[in-house]
Amino acid sequence: MECPECGGRVETKRGEIVCSNCGLVIEESMIDPKAEYYAFQEERKRAEKPVKYPGRTPYKIRRIIEQIVTQNRMPMYIADQATEIALRNRTLIKGRTTRDLALASVYIAAKKNGLPFRFRFPNQRDVWLIIKTIVKKQSERITPTSPHAYVEKVVEELGLPYKVSEKAKEIIRGWSEKGIQGIAPTVAGAAVLLTMPELRKTEVAKALNITPAAIRQMLRKIRTKSSQEHQAKTATSTTSHLRRTSPQY
């Protein structure tokens, strides 16, 4: 299985299926000893059994999509586009819940408009499979979301000051000018952490639905690049000084 976000290789770490490239958490808590988790799963199965067309009525799909859009503070035009995507593809997705179809449709609509939307849901691997099916069969084009949009998402979800967003974006622009690149969510997470070092990597990673390890890797990459630049500048300065002080024959 490949990552639905970047196409990278996925692997299992500590009970989670994650992308080794961008750090996306594709499925979390595969093994959870808490009884509440299993109770939730059973409740979800009883409340929302997979149905086949025409069981997925336009009204039901629209209602679920509007709930998802509202909870994630996205504009209502995303709900309009997501509804169209869901209704257009409801016959392709069999054996999946209506909510999974709705989540997949909202994700595709958000990405087409360059908006960040990374969900955390016990059954999210099924959602990624739906996304992959729709994108492949319907040729839906997904636009990569910019790091700036992910910065805004973190700032909003964690209730951080507006100045954090502006400073983090300024840092990202500086990295871009220096040729420092990375997956958008990890770039955003690293920039926010450098702006507010007192934040925990875990809370920033959770807001972005990526692993803390992915952010640490990005920070390590930035430090390595900065160290190399510093060494290069030092070497250039030393060479210039030697040329100025060397006797001329």
User: pLDDT tens digits, residue range 53-108?
Assistant: 445 578 899 999 999 999 888 899 999 999 999 998 888 777 788 888 999 999 99
Radius of gyration of the CA atoms of the chain, in A = 22
Q: Which residues contact 43 (CB under 8 A, 6 or more apart)?
A: none
> What would the mean pLDDT of 131-144 be, rounded to a whole number?
78
pLDDT at 144: 75
Q: Can you give the pLDDT at residue 245? A: 57
Model confidence pLDDT, tens digit, residues 2-31:
676 677 777 777 667 777 777 677 766 544
Lowest mean pLDDT among 1-5, 133-137, 194-198: 1-5
Decide: 112 and 149 in contact? Cβ < 8 Å: no
Quick check: 155 pLDDT over 90?
yes
Name the more confident of 178 and 93.
178
Which residue ranges form the domains of the chain, and what is each CATH number? 32-138 (1.10.472.10), 147-245 (1.10.472.10)
Question: Could you give the angle at the alpha carbon of 207 between the alpha carbons of 201 and 213, nearest 5°?
Answer: 40
pLDDT band, very low/low/confident/very high, at 154 (cuts 50, 70, 90): very high
Q: Residue range 139-160: average pLDDT?
A: 85
Sequence-ordered list of residues with C-beta below 8 angstroms from that of 198, at least 6 positions apart, any chain = none
Determine the Cα–Cα distance for residues 178 and 162; give it in Å rounded to an integer.
Answer: 25
**pLDDT at residue 86 in the model:** 92
CA-CA distance, 217 to 208, in Å (whole number)?
15
Q: In which band, very low, low, confident or very high, does the pLDDT at 232 lie, cut at 50, 70 and 90?
A: low
Could you list the beta-strand ranges (E) of the chain. Answer: 10-13, 16-19, 25-27
> What is the pLDDT, as a whole number, of residue 56?
56
Average pLDDT over residues 30-48: 43
Select from 75, 145, 62 the least CA-distant residue to 105: 62
Averaged pLDDT, 126-131:
86
- State the pTM of this model: 0.62
What tokens appear for 223 in the block? 């430090």
Sign of dihedral through CA atoms 145, 146, 149, 151?
positive
What SS3 state is found at 231?
A: helix
Give whichever of 51-65, 140-154, 167-181, 217-231 has the largest mean pLDDT: 167-181
Helix 212-245 / helix 201-208 crossing angle, nearest 10 deg: 110
Residue 33's pLDDT is 39
pLDDT of residue 124: 74
Report whether pLDDT(47) > 50: no
H helices then E strands: how many in the chain? 10, 3
State how far the Cα of 191 lies from the Cα of 170, in Å rounded to an integer.
9
51: pLDDT strictly greater than 50: no
Secondary structure of residue 177 in the 3-state scheme = helix
- Residue 151 vs residue 144, higher pLDDT: 151
pLDDT in tens, 102-128: 999 999 999 888 888 876 665 677 888
10 - beta bridge partners?
Answer: 19
